[in-house]
Amino acid sequence: MSTYKEIKGFKVQTLASDTAASLVGAGSWASGGSLNTARNALAGAGTQSANFAAGGAPPNSGSKNEMEIYNGSSWTEVNNLNTARRQAGAAGTTTAGLFVGGRSSPPAVLANVESWDGTNWTEVGDLNQARDGARGGGTNTSCVFAGGYYPAGPNTYTDETETWNGSSWTEVGDMNNGRAFGAGSGTITSAILSGGSTAADASIGKAETWNGSAWTEVSDLNTHRGESMGAGASNTDALAFGGFDSPNNLTQTEHWNGSSWTEVSDLANGRRSSQGTGTAPAAICAGGFDGSDSAATEEFTAASTFTKINLGQVYYNSGSNAFKVTEQPIPGGSWSSGGSLNDGRSSLTGIGIQTAVVAVSGQDSTTSLIASVEEYNGSVWAEVNNTPVTLKYHGAGGILTAGWIAGGLTTYNGTAFNAETFEYDGTNWTDSGNINTNRYTAYGGGPQTAAFIAGGNNTSFAAVGNTELYNGSAWSETTDLNTVRNNAFGNGTQTDGIYAGGSPGNKADTELWNGTTWTEVNNLNTARYSIGVGGGTAPGSSVLIAGGTDGTNNLAVVESWNGTSWTEQANLAATNSSNGLGISSAASAINFGGFAPTPSSFATVTEEWTVPEVNKTITVS
């Protein structure tokens, strides 16, 4: 008979609400007082308990000049704008506001700017460029506005930025991506603009931050959206909410913490072209279009307390009467745009993980190799110390501060081979022990003191199955691959490695390495070669494979390995082969560079793979 002390288990915490990443992450939307005049395409500024909403569009056509002020519970009509308009921008407070640009009726984009003193609107200095859909933030004497739409020949979604000093507008640094109708917030020295529309796409996910002089591309929104709204006091703490991704009006709300976007509580009402303002902990959304013109107001308030989300935690939610677990389901992952490489290249290698990786050497034209090395910090690439030789098709592994490369070609036409190993300490490259079998397209992984490479092409340009192990100073031959091949995907560690795909031909074969022998396991779903190559900290039992070619077409196909089988995941946006890769697990990776044969181009594109942590219900009693 069992005794209580023989029963094993663990304590499960009881919580009133789900775990979250932050107080904002645990926040929620609640209904507020309705506008007196239902409308869409309005704009406003201020705080959650003291803000204004002005302008907008009536149900059918034209523009409005109505102005209302909110006191935290109800809206009051006050003196109207001088010029009726819709899709304008706004900044300031209920006693010192600014209304910028927009579109009048009959349709014409405006440069008009009006200043609010708490009682009346007064015309002040016009924008340099008339436009609607510009977004930004600040006060009525110090603000920044960027982007917008104006018809100049073909319809133009501009990247132009202007700042206001209380009397005049000055053109400053352009955005990286022209757009209109995005979500903007912040100040003249610390702003963020996300989502919006371009000539090519009515709903985009790109985001950029402003530091007072220049815009920097940062991680994309999880949900692409046009005609969206934003709130926030700076470029490190902001919300983006609502909008549309055709054909749907959106409820999704996302929080920006300065490095990434996290989905938080949804709006009750899916809508676009609303007025959004306030801060990330205390925002407001009013009016908009949810199928018809809306007067509804919703207020977002951060939680006063929260329990931090942690991967693998199990808890009981007493509010929903359910046991839950926090997990990171790989099929929930997505790719988003990152900062562009300075030097477009293919046949390169990556060393590191998504937020700390180097792109090493490669080929930047059809006739030349480069020694250029660039370091990525999670948002931008910066040139660092070159490799000692020009190089392509080299193996690599380790992390940014302790990486290695080995083998490869030192001339673009394949006549000169590299046998050397170079170690990287985050700053400098040091020559180390040579590989035993001189070759290129031999790939593998592992840390600087315990690495492996396998396969590749030898000096006779024939595929080989040789495997070598590195101890930090010298390479030693060990058991060969079962299937001889080159240009495959190699990754993992010296005791938990993986080798998949490759050529000659177009292979799907996958083999696992346990430190002693290779074992054939389940094939890739899509046979390919010239696949994304890089090191990182991922074990062979949890990796992501991205891109490549099937010999006819470049591929955007992505697959994850769970230790047993490959599963197709969300595709890359770019279809490049011979790209670089950095992975820490199947839940976090980065893909960069590569080659597109038609037209012949060497890519600068960077894409980041992220899988969010989510709370999943186990049982409901």
Same structural domain for residues 337 and 287?
no
Same structural domain for residues 297 and 338?
no
Q: What pLDDT is stored for residue 107 in this prediction? A: 77
CB atoms within 10 A of CB 379: 17
Token pair for 580: 């670089």
Strands of 282-286's sheet in order across: 28-32, 297-301, 282-286, 275-278
| Angle at alpha carbon of residue 195, lines to 189 and 201, rounded to 5° | 135
CATH number of the domain that 348 lies in?
Answer: 2.120.10.80
Range of the domain at 64: 28-301
Give the 3-state secondary structure of residue 5.
helix
Pairing assessment for the beta strands 510-513 and 497-500 based on DSSP bridges: antiparallel
Tell me which amino acid residue 512 is: L
12: in domain: no
Same structural domain for residues 267 and 411?
no
Closest CA to 316 of 308, 306, 325: 325
21: in domain: no
User: CA 506 → CA 47, 441, 503, distances in Å?
Assistant: 60, 15, 5
Domain boundary at 278, 301, 324, which?
A: 301
Same structural domain for residues 343 and 288?
no
Q: What pLDDT is stored for residue 532 in this prediction? A: 86
Q: Chain-centre distance of CA 410, in angstroms?
A: 34
Q: What pLDDT is stored for residue 5 in this prediction? A: 58
| Angle at alpha carbon of residue 499, lines to 496 and 500, rounded to 5° | 140
327: in domain: no
Those residues of the chain that have pLDDT short of 50 are: none
Which value, to the nearest 10 degrees, does the dihedral of the CA atoms of residues 562, 567, 570, 576 take? 90
8 A C-beta contact, residue 288 and residue 294? yes
Q: What pLDDT is stored for residue 197 in this prediction? A: 95
Same structural domain for residues 359 and 420?
yes
8 A C-beta contact, residue 594 and residue 603? yes
Same structural domain for residues 273 and 393?
no
539: in domain: yes
537: in domain: yes
Whole-angstrom distance, CA of residue 553 vs CA of residue 559: 17
Same structural domain for residues 65 and 141?
yes
8 A C-beta contact, residue 419 and residue 435? yes
Q: What pLDDT is stored for residue 498 in this prediction? A: 96
Same structural domain for residues 393 and 473?
yes
Whole-angstrom distance, CA of residue 402 vs CA of residue 429: 10
With residues binned 3-state (H G I as helix, E B as strand, rest as coil), the percentages for the chain, rounded to 5, are 0, 45, 55
E strands, 169-311, in order: 169-172, 183-186, 191-194, 207-210, 215-218, 229-234, 237-241, 244-245, 248-249, 253-256, 261-264, 275-278, 282-286, 297-301
Whole-angstrom distance, CA of residue 113 vs CA of residue 134: 12
Domain boundary at 254, 280, 301, which?
A: 301
365: in domain: yes
Pairing assessment for the beta strands 314-317 and 13-15 based on DSSP bridges: parallel
Domain boundary at 247, 278, 301, which?
A: 301
Long-range contacts, stretch 457-466, CB < 8 angstroms, 24+ apart: 457/486, 457/487, 459/417, 461/414, 463/502, 463/503, 463/504, 464/437, 464/439, 466/436, 466/437, 466/439, 466/442
8 A C-beta contact, residue 228 and residue 241? yes
Same structural domain for residues 385 and 436?
yes
Q: What pLDDT is stored for residue 217 in this prediction? A: 86
Same structural domain for residues 283 and 352?
no
E strands, 270-368, in order: 275-278, 282-286, 297-301, 314-317, 322-327, 334-337, 349-353, 356-363
Q: What pLDDT is stored for residue 6 in this prediction? A: 63
558, β-bridge pairs: 546, 569
Same structural domain for residues 491 and 354?
yes
8 A C-beta contact, residue 225 and residue 198? no
Same structural domain for residues 398 and 461?
yes
Whole-angstrom distance, CA of residue 169 vs CA of residue 590: 40
Q: What number of CA atoms fall less than 13 Å from residue 222's CA on the CB side?
A: 21
Whole-angstrom distance, CA of residue 54 vs CA of residue 73: 17
322: in domain: no
370: in domain: yes
Whole-angstrom distance, CA of residue 609 vs CA of residue 560: 11
Q: What number of CA atoms fall less than 13 Å from residue 448's CA on the CB side?
A: 17
Q: How many domains does the chain have?
A: 2
Q: Classify residue 479 by burial, with Cβ atoms within 10 Å: 0-12, 13-18, 19+.
A: middle
E strands, 407-557, in order: 421-424, 429-432, 439-440, 443-445, 451-454, 457-458, 467-470, 475-478, 489-492, 497-500, 510-513, 518-521, 543-546
Q: Chain-centre distance of CA 283, in angstroms?
A: 23
